[in-house]
Amino acid sequence: MKRRPLLRRAIVWITATVLMAIAIFLRNHQVDDQNAHAPIDIHGSVEQPLVGRNVTASVDRVRLTPLIHADWGDDKPDDFRAHNDATFVVFEVTVASVVANGFGFSDFHIGDKTFGSQYVGFPPSIEQLTPGFPSKGRITFEIPGSLTQSVGYLRVVGDKDPRLDSRLVFAVDLTKVERLPSITLKRGIAG
């Protein structure tokens, strides 16, 4: 009769050990909160269009300049000068969406620094995306002049909530980008 309680105890301990091992395995292999709802990155370069889940984009032209003339169509264009030793990176992009949506956002990532896009002169004409109609516009960033000898990444998201869409990541070698003393941007490049 003493063998049965010993067998029962052994079964309980073996079961507890197996359950503990399974719990440890699951804890070590589950997705962390930061990546649970992260966008899916699709990588490419400025020479190729990238296709995401709800958005397609291509970079048509990239330029560096310290001075932007914003031509409103009247006789008084506004001048925007980069601060201190900074320079503007101006991307001309074509963006299309498969769903009616407002343009999400874009940022420019160089090393461990991330720069947000700026309205220079007037808002870009890619703010509202209509399915089937590609929109052309500009995305402008102001970066320190010391970073113009780097490789950066333009990241484009077609939805206000990046967790719901793909993030298109364009690699840009700033050493090969056209450098101009000034750029004149005319209002309303429409797609």
Mean pLDDT for the chain overall: 81
123-148 confidence digits (pLDDT tens):
555 666 777 788 888 888 999 989 98
- Would you list the domain boundaries of the chain? 1-30, 39-186
Which tokens belong to 41? 């990155």
Average pLDDT (7-12) is: 89
What are the distances in angstroms from CA 148 to CA 62, 91, 112, 151, 169? 12, 14, 14, 8, 18
CATH architecture of 39-186: Sandwich (2.60)
pTM of the predicted structure, to 2 decimals: 0.73
